Amino acid sequence: DAGVIQSPRHEVTEMGQEVTLRCKPISGHDYLFWYRQTMMRGLELLIYFNNNVPIDDSGMPEDRFSAKMPNASFSTLKIQPSEPRDSAVYFCASSTGGVRRTGELFFGEGSRLTVL
Amino acid sequence: KNEVEQSPQNLTAQEGEFITINCSYSVGISALHWLQQHPGGGIVSLFMLSSGKKKHGRLIATINIQEKHSSLHITASHPRDSAVYICAVEDYGGATNKLIFGTGTLLAVQP
C-alpha cells in the first residue's frame, strides 16, 4: 500500500488567501484524523472522521477552518482566509480504530504551510 | 501540569549506547502510543500498547498501568535513531478518539 498521501508537501501563501490541503488515507481505514503541529503547541487534533462522517471537530480553531470527506479515499482541510498564525505542519493520519480507540495511526508526510 | 510528561526533553548519546526515554501520564488510559519523527519528516508509529512489553528490532516499549508509566528503550543506538520520540495516550475517560500528546524527546546519537 502507498500509505497516507498528502498534498501539497509545501505551500507558501499570502495572508487572506484560501488554502486547501488534501489527504488520501490508506484503503480500508475507516478513521481519518487531521492534526496540526507547531513549535509552541506540539501536535493537536483538529478534526476526525469515521466512515466519512465528521465525529469531533472541537479542535478546529475557528470558522476559517473547514474539513470535508466526500468519500472513503479523499479528505480536504480548507483555511479561508488564511492568517500568519496558521503557519504550521498539517498531518493527516488514518487508522482502523474503534469506538474510543484510536488504533495504530499511519501518518502522511505532512503539509508545511507558511502564510506570509 | 501536562497530562503526559516525557523525560528527558533532550538526550545526546554515543553510538552503541543503550537509551531509555520515559513517559508518565495522569489519566486512565486505554492505550499508549510511541511515535518517531525525523527532522523535517513525517511521523511514524512505533508501538501501540496497553499492557506489558513489545519489541521490534532494537526498540522495546514497556508499560506499567498501575504506575502510569511507559518507557521506550533503544539498544545498540545508531545515528539513524536520531529523531524526536513522542508519547501519546488514549484517555479511557475521553468521549472521543483523541490522543493526548507529550512534548517529545529530542534524541541525537553521535557516531
Establish if A39 touches chain B: CB-CB under 8 angstroms.
no
Given this model, what pLDDT does residue A103 score? Answer: 75
Contact call for residues B38 and B83 (beta carbons, < 8 A) = yes
Q: How far apart are CA B68 and CA A19, in angstroms?
A: 41
> Which residues does A2 contact at the CB level (< 8 Å), separation at least 6?
none
Establish if A53 touches chain B: CB-CB under 8 angstroms.
no
Given this model, what pLDDT does residue B97 score? Answer: 66
Residue A56 or residue B107, greater confidence: B107
Rounded mean pLDDT, A26-39: 93
Nearest to A37 by CA among A115, A77, A92: A92
Contact B43 A91 (CB under 8 A): yes
3-state helix, strand, coil in chain A (%, to 5): 5, 55, 40
Residue B61 one-letter amino acid = A
Chain A's closest residue to B43, CA to CA, is: A107
Given this model, what pLDDT does residue A93 score? Answer: 94
Given this model, what pLDDT does residue A69 score? Answer: 97
Q: How far apart are CA A97 and CA A75, in angstroms?
A: 18
Q: How confident is the model at residue A104 (pLDDT cuts 50, 70, 90)?
A: confident
Give the mean pLDDT of chain B: 92
Residue A97 or residue B16, greater confidence: B16
pLDDT tens-digit series, residues A3-22: 999 999 999 999 999 999 99
Question: Could you give the 3-state DSSP secondary structure of residue A12?
Answer: strand
Cβ neighbours of B30 (radius 10 Å):
16
Rounded mean pLDDT, A18-45: 93
Contact call for residues A8 and A110 (beta carbons, < 8 A) = no
Rounded mean pLDDT, B94-106: 81
Contact A42 B97 (CB under 8 A): no
Q: Which triple of cell numbers denotes residue B17?
A: 549506547
Nearest CA to CA, how far is B9 from chain A (Å)?
13
Given this model, what pLDDT does residue B33 score? Answer: 94
Given this model, what pLDDT does residue B22 score? Answer: 98
| First-residue to last-residue Cα distance in chain B | 36
Rounded mean pLDDT, A83-99: 89
**A49 phi, psi to nearest 5 deg:** -120, 150
Q: Which triple of cell numbers denotes residue B70?
A: 511507559
Which chain A residues touch B45 with a CB distance below 8 Å?
Answer: 104-107
